[in-house]
């Protein structure tokens, strides 16, 4: 098993890609085959396996764990650097599952909706606590949706048209993976009113989220059950894994909140994107500084592979 260390240097980083690569090799005492992914911005360091046959797989796994322990404190201390360490084999994933709010789009939809009823600060505080894993997600969602009772359909449409922007790199990430044969699933603790539109704009094949209930032309303050939360995200991953005949190593999951942790932990590559601390701790890799194209570099894609 060869090991790939992907380095992505973002604006504001005080070290060059070349310097960080040399430092990483020195830390672990191994030379690497350095492959450029983006000139001056991203590169792979491929560490060749010393295993002679399949019986040495445990040795390789131990080496990967050792590399991670050695590199993590040093690389995490470099402001502006995003990085990913993992097996070089099976890097290009065949399924991506992604959260929507603050991952594929730049805002939390429910917080923006609450602004239309003058309750954004109150709702945003609940959202933040839930995303940190400090509150039960279903209870927090029920409480917040109740505060939106009476909001008109027109306000929802205004919210989408005026407040919702795609996250940088979102469409390139999904379209590039799809060009290379992957399926894309958007699964959100938000609302289908928004996921339907966002999925179409980015190019997701499937979207799942909570369904807001209406009383005439206004929100009733409730959502349909069962609520789409952490378990739904995990169940969706397992469903598409079986449906598509995939292995765990074929799957990428990305999100920012505590309700994304189960699917992040179940994926071959689970990525925390500008995430809460609890989610970062659970993920195999984190994007703290860059945009969503970092997930393409993590899979070994080069700039010339990108669908812009």
Catalytic residues: 99, 101
Checking phi first, is residue 126 left (phi over 0); if not, alpha (psi -120 to 50) or beta? alpha
186 — phi, psi (to 5°)?
Answer: -100, 120
Asked if residue 3 lies in contact with residue 86, where contact means CB atoms within 8 angstroms, the answer is yes
Residue 5 CA to residue 21 CA, distance in Å, equals: 9
31 — phi, psi (to 5°)?
Answer: -75, 160
User: Which helix (H) or strand (E) element contains residue 52?
Assistant: none
Residue 250 per-residue DSSP state? G
Three-state SS at 146:
helix
DSSP 66-99: HHHHHHHHHHHTSTTEEEEEEESTT-S-SEEEE-
Could you tell me which of 303, 295, 307 has the C-alpha nearest to residue 86?
295
Could you tell me which of 203, 179, 176, 184 has the C-alpha nearest to residue 303?
176
Residue 9 CA to residue 297 CA, distance in Å, equals: 11
Could you tell me which of 196, 200, 180 has the C-alpha nearest to residue 188?
196
Beta strands (DSSP E) in 172-294 are: 183-191, 206-210, 212-215, 218-223, 251-255, 269-273, 285-287
Asked if residue 202 lies in contact with residue 185, where contact means CB atoms within 8 angstroms, the answer is no
Rg (CA), the chain: 20
């Amino acid at each position: 098993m060869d090991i790939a260390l992907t380095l992505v240097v973002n604006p504001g980083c005080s070290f060059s890609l070349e310097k960080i690569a040399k430092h990483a090799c020195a830390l672990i005492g191994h030379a690497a085959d350095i492959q450029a992914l983006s000139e001056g911005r991203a590169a792979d360091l491929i560490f060749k396996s010393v295993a002679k046959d399949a019986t040495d797989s445990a040795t390789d796994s131990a080496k990967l764990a050792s590399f991670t322990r050695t590199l993590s404190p040093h690389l995490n201390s470099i402001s502006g650097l995003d990085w990913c360490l993992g097996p070089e084999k099976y890097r290009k994933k065949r399924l991506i599952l992604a959260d929507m709010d603050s991952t594929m789009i730049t805002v939390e939809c429910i917080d923006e909706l609450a602004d239309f009823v003058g309750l954004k600060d109150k709702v945003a505080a609940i959202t933040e606590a839930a995303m940190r894993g400090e509150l039960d997600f279903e209870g927090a969602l029920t409480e917040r949706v109740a505060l939106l009772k009476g909001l008109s359909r027109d306000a929802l449409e205004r919210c989408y048209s005026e407040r919702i922007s795609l996250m940088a790199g979102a469409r390139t990430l999904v379209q590039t993976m799809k060009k290379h044969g992957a399926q894309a699933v958007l699964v959100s603790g938000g609302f289908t009113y928004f996921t339907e539109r966002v999925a179409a704009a980015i190019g997701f094949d499937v979207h799942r989220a909570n369904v807001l209930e209406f009383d005439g032309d206004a929100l009733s303050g409730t959502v349909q059950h069962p609520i789409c939360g952490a378990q739904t995200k995990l169940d969706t991953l397992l469903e598409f894994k079986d449906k598509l005949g995939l292995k765990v190593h074929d799957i990428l999951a990305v999100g920012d909140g505590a309700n994304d942790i189960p699917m992040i932990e179940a994926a071959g590559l689970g990525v925390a994107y500008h995430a809460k601390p609890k989610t970062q701790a659970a993920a195999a890799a984190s994007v703290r500084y860059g945009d969503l194209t970092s997930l393409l570099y993590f899979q070994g894609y080069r700039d010339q592979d990108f669908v812009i």
